[in-house]
Amino acid sequence: MTDLTFAVVTVSTTCYDDPIRDHSGPALIKYMADKSNNTVQWIHLASTVVPDNQTHVKETLLKLSAELHPHLILTTGGTGISPDDVTPEATREVITREIPGMSQTMVAKSLAITPMAMISRPVCGIYQKTLIINLPGSVKGCVECLDFVYPILRHAIDLIQNKRAEVAITHSAMQGKTTRKHHSCGGDHHHHVGPVNKGERLRQSPYPMISVDDAMKIIFEQANKMPIIDKPLTECLNYICTEEVVAKEPFPPFRASVKDGYAVHLYSDQSHEQIYEIIGRSDAGGENNNIPLNEGQCVVINTGAKLPDSANAVIQIEDTQVHEYHATKINGLNEKSIRINTVCSINQDIRDIGDDVQINELVLEKNVSLGPAELGLLATVGLQSIRVYDQPHVAVLSTGNELMPIDEPSTNNGKIRDSNKIMLMSALKNLNIQNIIDGGTAKDDEISVIQTLQSAFELADVIISTGGVSMGDKDLIKSILIEKFHATIHFGRLQMKPGKPTTFATCEINGKKKLFFGLPGNPVSALVSYWLFVIPTLKHMMGHIQPHHPRIRVQLNQPIEYLDPRPEYIRVIIEWSTKSSIPIASIVSPDNQCSSRLLSARRCTGLACLPSKNDVDSSFFNTNQDGLGQQIDCLLLSL
Ligand SMILES: Nc1nc2c(c(=O)[nH]1)N[C@H]1C(S)=C(S)[C@@H](COP(=O)(O)OP(=O)(O)OC[C@H]3O[C@@H](n4cnc5c(N)ncnc54)[C@H](O)[C@@H]3O)O[C@H]1N2
Ligand code: MOO
């Protein structure tokens, strides 16, 4: 299986203004995904939307090639003949070798479908080791044209990469002969190194902005349940059990007294005077307590003690009085006989064998969280260990030269205390994660980031980092993940506020799949992303059947007057009261919920979900005169 990487650039001013309108980019990604099979796996590294601007397109192509080194870049749009169509010109500025045959094939084959192909000007060529292909802008056109050239793509890439073995195999397959030294495909077996514009920076994120729901789906496709292990009951609190448990023994295992009092053998004649002779005692856990009783005899008994087989009722001490005393104490008491002051019935205050748990009764369903009651129950029926989903090892690491440990005194040299580390490690403790690893702090240089990531990957199944995922030239996480750890970045930008640069990647280290959450550095963004994505993922891995936060309807305590283009997750404190039929959500620090301001998360118990301003009409802002705000959905984080 060969992994080949590709990126997609949509060239369209309209889509640049409103990326949701880009359908061609996603169609190309889908086409390539569908082409993955057991010999080639197409890995989508990045997508971006740029306006019809020659410099912009050129810079994007240069930076994508230089930073991500994809095998292939597909552009869609801007290949026509209107003044705005500049993709071919921009591409020509980038490529160092043109492949006219590919462009001619696309035009020739398209002509059989539409005469419009006459005015399409795609350019295909090579920059460094990346093959760049211009495709038309329409969904149908771009997919059709890609399909025309797809049959030679793999071979072209092998040639560009100078993969001699693969090239030879293709040739022999094509020509029905053994390996040839020379061939006629026009490929150059010596790879071409073009100039790298080191000084230039990508001015737009190459990562498409995807929705929170899509992000969640992607994560859940990648996150596998943990292996099942057998664990001693004493270590199983909050684990999810994977087996159904049926009682192998009854509880109580003997007839037991429900009260402190007397175990009696009742007179069969109800009219008999209710005086009972005390002939011994049965203590809880005591031995030799099966004293034979005749009618009118009893033993002193305590709650939970085994009843003599011949006892047929228990009378609580409150319903008796001493009738006669011994001169001295026997077994701690000097009572000789008692009178019962109440009407008794057979079997009263006796727990029969199996009254609480019958033999073969289901005591625990599968996939249940093991809380105190469940563990007590399992102990009751004699289990010492149980099969549960294991927990992942989770590492938390910070990035940034500005960070100093929390026990450092204040300085005036641009340093701040690392609050994210303690915040996220505590959040994991709250989730009852047992194996939390302090993954250290990476400086803003390649070597430090690589070393920190390497050790976190070795120690943990899930890695949570904060910082270094946005657009700064010191934001190294994504490129290092791709280049040094061959990670797949599943997404690198989200339609949410806060938390836009939240990144999710997977990679394989020592034969094991690792999940990487690159949370933004801003503390509130990090915490909101942790709540939204990391908690459900970890719960899912640990076997929770309902890993997602409950979604409830709340009424805001004050009206929202502005909305952001990104759906926003505002921090609220949910107040439940009998006065209102709907919980009231008080916005925490309503005047300033900026993502660096952790005060806006203080005591927060919910994330109220404000819609994007593009998804509502003006009626959203019409609230009642009662001073309260809109009714909206809210994720319940805790009570
Ligand atoms: N040109 C652009 N700049 C930024 C964008 C953008 O789209 N274009 N996005 C902004 C958004 S939104 C966020 S959120 C931040 C996230 O940036 P990073 O994840 O790369 O994080 P850093 O730049 O490393 O740090 C951001 C901020 O957080 C502080 N920080 C970092 N780590 C910690 C920590 N462990 N404890 C406390 N505080 C921490 C750091 O000092 C910075 O102030 O990017 C925007 N920029
Ligand atoms: O998305 Mo950022 O997280 O707004 O500050």
Six-digit token string for 345:
């019935």
How many A from CA of 502 to the centre of ligand 1?
Answer: 10
What CA–CA distance (Å, rounded) separates 285 from 270?
Answer: 32
Tell me which residue of 464, 390, 479 sits closest to 424, measured CA to CA: 464
Pocket probe mutation, ligand 1, options 522, 524, 596, 598, max atoms within 8 Å of Cβ: 522
Ligand positioned closest to the Cα atom of 494: 2
Same fold, 228-249+359-389 and 394-542: no
Residue with tokens 């009261």: 577
Atom number in ligand 1 closest to CA 520: 19
Q: What's the pLDDT tens digit per position in 27-69?
A: 999 999 999 888 888 999 999 999 999 999 999 999 999 889 9
- Domain borders along the chain are 2-162, 228-249+359-389, 256-351, 394-542, 551-636
Atom number in ligand 2 closest to CA 525: 3
What CA–CA distance (Å, rounded) separates 559 from 557?
Answer: 7
Q: Cβ–Cβ contacts within 10 Å for residue 283, how many?
A: 16
Q: What's the pLDDT tens digit per position in 272-282?
A: 999 999 999 99
Dihedral pair phi/psi, residue 242, rounded to 5°: -110, 5
Ligand positioned closest to the Cα atom of 406: 1
Burial pattern 416-432, b for ≥16 Cβ within 10 A else e, equals: eebbbbebbbebbeebe
How many A from CA of 471 to the centre of ligand 2?
Answer: 12
Q: What are the C-alpha distances in Å from 149 to residues 36, 119, 135, 142, 144?
A: 16, 19, 11, 11, 9
What CA–CA distance (Å, rounded) separates 275 from 298?
Answer: 10
Q: For residue 157, what are the contacts with CB-CB under 8 A and spacing of at least 6?
A: 4, 71, 72, 131
497 in contact with ligand 2, CB cutoff 6 A: yes
500 in contact with ligand 2, CB cutoff 6 A: yes
Q: Which helix (H) or strand (E) holds 45?
A: strand 40-50
498 in contact with ligand 2, CB cutoff 6 A: yes
499 in contact with ligand 2, CB cutoff 6 A: yes
How many A from CA of 492 to the centre of ligand 2?
Answer: 13
Atom number in ligand 1 closest to CA 418: 36
What CA–CA distance (Å, rounded) separates 42 from 135?
Answer: 18
521 in contact with ligand 2, CB cutoff 6 A: no
3-state per-residue secondary structure call for 391-454: CCCEEEEEECCCEECCCCCCCCCCCEECHHHHHHHHHHHHCCCCCEEEEEEECCCHHHHHHHHH
Ligand positioned closest to the Cα atom of 203: 1
Residue 102 has pLDDT above 80, yes or no: yes
495 in contact with ligand 2, CB cutoff 6 A: no
521 in contact with ligand 1, CB cutoff 6 A: yes
500 in contact with ligand 1, CB cutoff 6 A: yes
Say which range, 74-83, 151-160, 178-187, 543-552, has the weakest mean pLDDT.
178-187
Q: How confident is the model at residue 561 (pLDDT cuts 50, 70, 90)?
A: very high
Residue 101 has pLDDT above 80, yes or no: yes
Pocket probe mutation, ligand 1, options 470, 493, 496, max atoms within 8 Å of Cβ: 470
Tell me which residue of 11, 155, 154, 183 sits closest to 82, measured CA to CA: 11
* Helix 446-459 and helix 477-485, axial crossing angle in degrees, nearest 10: 70
How many A from CA of 584 to the centre of ligand 1?
Answer: 32
595 in contact with ligand 2, CB cutoff 6 A: yes
CATH number of 551-636: 2.40.340.10
> Strand, helix or coil at 8?
strand
Q: How confident is the model at residue 362 (pLDDT cuts 50, 70, 90)?
A: very high
Topology annotation, domain 2-162: Molybdenum Cofactor Biosythetic Enzyme; Chain A (3.40.980)
Six-digit token string for 192:
């071409």
Q: What's the pLDDT tens digit per position in 161-198?
A: 887 545 544 443 444 333 333 333 333 332 222 223 44
Q: Return the CATH architecture of domain 394-542.
A: 3-Layer(aba) Sandwich (3.40)
40 touches 4 (CB < 8 A): yes
What CA–CA distance (Å, rounded) separates 249 from 256?
Answer: 15
Tell me which residue of 554, 633, 573, 548 sits closest to 216, measured CA to CA: 548
490 in contact with ligand 2, CB cutoff 6 A: no
Atom number in ligand 1 closest to CA 522: 28
Looking from the CA of 76 toward its CB, the CA atoms found within 13 Å total: 26
Residue 555 has pLDDT above 50, yes or no: yes
Topology annotation, domain 256-351: Molybdopterin biosynthesis moeA protein; domain 3 (2.170.190)
What CA–CA distance (Å, rounded) separates 523 from 423?
Answer: 9
CA 570 to chain centroid, in Å, comes to 20
What CA–CA distance (Å, rounded) separates 537 from 99?
Answer: 45
Six-digit token string for 481:
């993940």
154 in contact with ligand 2, CB cutoff 6 A: no
Residue 612 has pLDDT above 70, yes or no: yes
How many A from CA of 161 to the centre of ligand 1?
Answer: 36
Atom number in ligand 2 closest to CA 594: 5
Six-digit token string for 136:
């038309």
Six-digit token string for 321:
């009085």
Residue 637 has pLDDT above 80, yes or no: yes
398 in contact with ligand 1, CB cutoff 6 A: yes
Residue 491 has pLDDT above 70, yes or no: yes
Pocket probe mutation, ligand 2, options 500, 502, 600, max atoms within 8 Å of Cβ: 500
Q: How confident is the model at residue 473 (pLDDT cuts 50, 70, 90)?
A: confident
Amino acid, single-letter form, for residue 47? S
How many A from CA of 470 to the centre of ligand 1?
Answer: 7
> How much is the ipTM here?
0.96
Question: Across residues 580-601, what is the average pLDDT?
Answer: 96
Atom number in ligand 1 closest to CA 419: 36
Residue 321 has pLDDT above 60, yes or no: yes
503 in contact with ligand 1, CB cutoff 6 A: no
User: What CATH homologous superfamily does 228-249+359-389 map to?
Assistant: Molybdopterin biosynthesis moea protein, domain 2 (3.90.105.10)
